[in-house]
A and B are shown apart, each in its own frame.
Chain A
Amino acid sequence: MTYSIIGRCGRTGRLGLGITTFSLAVGGRCEGIAAGIGVCKTQAFPNRTNDPLGIKLLAEGFVPARIMEMFAANDSEHDYRQIAIMDRDGRIAAHTGAGTRGWSGHQIDADCVAFGNGLVGPQVLAGLIAGFKTRPDDALEYRLMRAIEGGRDAGGQGNATTHKPERSAAIKVVDRLDYPDIDVRVDVHPTAVAELRRVLEEFKLYEEFYRERGRNPSKAIPQDVFVANLNASRA
C-alpha cells in the first residue's frame, strides 16, 4: 500500500519522485534517483536491489522499456513488484505485478507516471496526475507535493470499508548536480502528507540560505540571525 509519482519538469529537465505510504520511513528506500540519468522506484513487495541496478542500467544507456525486461528476467518474484522507470528524456516504463495486493495499477502521462497499490481505486492515480498537472509552471517539488495531496484527497490507501493512513512520505528532486536539490522526509507520523507539506514549506524558506552559506561562507550570516530575521518578517 503506497502511492507514488515520478515526474519531470519539461522546462528545466529536473527529475523527481514523490511518495507516501502506510509503511514507515519510505524515504529511506528511495535511492533510485540520479541527476542527468533518471528515476527508478520499486514498491509493493520491493526488490531492494532493483533501483540501484536500474540507475546503473540507465547510465549505461538502456531505455526504460529494456530495463523493465531485464528486471523481469533477473527476479523470480517480479510478479510481486510494482516498478516505474523514467529516463532523463521523460521516457517511461511501468509494471504492476499480478501479485501486488489490493487495487493496484499505474497511469502514464506526459512527463509523469503515477503508480500505487493497496489503493481505494483508480481515482487515486487520477488524483496524482491531476495534482501534478495543476500548475505546470511551478517548481517540480511543488508539483510532486500537489500530486501526493491529490492522491490522498482521492481516497488514498484502503478499500471500501477501511482507510489506511499515510505514515511516511518523501519528495526528492535532482537537477544537474550529483546530490539532490530537494530531499524532504517524514518518517513516522499519523498524517504524513500534511506533515510533509509543512516540512517542504519550511525548508523552502531556508533553501537559498543553506545553498549560499556553503558556496560563499565568508559572506554568510549565522543561522540564528537568519531565523530571527525570518521570524520578524512573519510577525
Chain B
Amino acid sequence: MTFTLVARCPKSGQIGIGIATYSIGVGLYCNGLRANVGATMTQAFVNQGNNTLALRLLAQGFAPARVLDELAANDPDFAYRQIAVIDRDGRTVAYSGPKTRGWSGHKIGDGYVAMGNVLAGPKVVDAIAQAYEVHAGESFERRLLRAIEAGRDAGGQVGNDGHLTERSAGIFVYGAYDHAELDLRVDLHDKAIDELHRAFEEYELYRGYYRDRGKNPRDAVPQDVFVAGLKQHQEAAQ
C-alpha cells in the first residue's frame, strides 16, 4: 500500500521521487537516488538491498532494463516486489510483481513511472501521471507534490476494510551534487500528504537562505533575523 512517482526532469536533469503510504517512516526506504546516475525505488514487500544494488549497476553502465533483470535473478521473492528504475537519460522500466497486494500496477510515461499497490484502482496511477504532466510549467519539486496529491484525490490506498490514510510521505530531489537538493519528509501523521504540503510551502521560504548561508557565511544574516523579515513580509502581504 503505497503510491509513488519516480521521475527525471528533462529540462533540468534532476531526478526525484514523490511518495506516500500507509506505512510509517517511508523515507527510510527512499535511498535510490544518485546524481548523474539515476533513480530507483523498490516498494510493496521491500527488498532493502535493491535500491543500492540498482544504483551501483546503473553507475557501472547497465541499462535500466538489464538492471531489472539482474534484480529478478538475484531475488527468490521477486514476485512480491514493485520496482521502478530510471537512468540519467530518462530511460525507464517498471515491474509490479504478481504477488503484490490489492490493485497493483504502474504507468510509464516520458521519463517517469507512476506506480502503486493496494490502491483504489488504475485511476490512482493515471491521476499521478496526469498531474505530473499537466503541471509541466512548474518546478520539478512541486510537480512531484502535485502528483501524489492527485493520487490521493483519486482514491489512494484501499485495504480490506476500505480507504487507508497516508501516514507517511516524502519528496526527494537530486541535481548535480551528491547530496539532496530537497529531502523533505513526514514520518508519522494521520494526513501525511496535507502535512507534507504544509512542510513544503514552509521549507520553500527557507531553501535559498539555507543554501546561501553555507556558501557565503560572511554575508549571512542570523536565522532569527531572516525569520523576522519573513514574518514582516507575510504580514504586509495580508
Contact = CB atoms under 8 A, between A and B. Distances in A.
Interface of A: 1, 22-25, 27-29, 31, 44-49, 51-52, 77, 80, 99, 101, 162, 164, 177-180, 182-188, 198-199, 202-203, 206, 210, 213-214, 216-218, 220, 222-225
A179 B52 contact: yes
Interface stretch (B119-127, B132-140, B206-214): B206-214
Contact of A179 (B31, B159, B184, B220): B31
B79 to A, nearest CB: 8
Size class of the B contact interface (CB-based, 8 Å):
35 or more
Interface stretch (B60-68, B107-115, B142-150, B174-182): B174-182
A217 B217 contact: no
26 contacts: A23-B206, A23-B223, A24-B202, A25-B185, A25-B203, A28-B183, A29-B183, A77-B217, A164-B224, A178-B49, A179-B31, A179-B48, A184-B28, A184-B187, A185-B25, A187-B203, A203-B188, A206-B24, A213-B45, A217-B80, A218-B77, A218-B80, A223-B22, A223-B159, A224-B161, A225-B160
3 closest A-B pairs (Cβ-Cβ)? A28-B183, A45-B217, A217-B45
A187 B207 CA distance: 13
Contacts of B27: 183, 185
A49 B177 contact: yes
A31 B202 CA distance: 22
Given A49-B177, A223-B22, A180 B28 contact: yes
B223 A52 contact: no
Given A187-B184, A223-B22, A49 B179 contact: yes
Contact of B198 (A77, A188, A218): A188
Given A178-B52, A224-B160, A80 B47 contact: no
Nearest to B183: A28
Contacts of A216: 77
Interface string B1-36: 100000000000000000000111101110100000
Nearest to B182: A28
A70 to B, nearest CB: 17
A198 B183 contact: no
Contacts of A31: 178-180
A51 B177 CA distance: 12
A187 B199 contact: yes
B74 to A, nearest CB: 14
Contacts of B216: 77
A223 B1 contact: yes
B101 interface: yes
Contacts of B24: 199, 202-203, 206
Contacts of B28: 179-180, 182-184
B96 interface: no
Interface string B162-184: 00100000000000011110111
Nearest to A210: B23
A203 B185 contact: no
Residue with the highest number of chain B CB atoms closer than 10 Å, among A28, A186, A220: A28
Contacts of A185: 25, 27, 185, 187
A48 B214 contact: yes
A213 B99 CA distance: 13
Contacts of A220: 45
A194 to B, nearest CB: 13
B161 A25 contact: no
Nearest to B211: A48
Contacts of B185: 25, 27-28, 185, 187
A223 B23 contact: yes
Nearest to B81: A217
Interface string B185-227: 1111000000000110011001000100110111010111000
A214 B179 contact: no
Contact of A24 (B47, B161, B203): B203
B170 to A, nearest CB: 9
A49 B183 CA distance: 16
A218 to B, nearest CB: 7
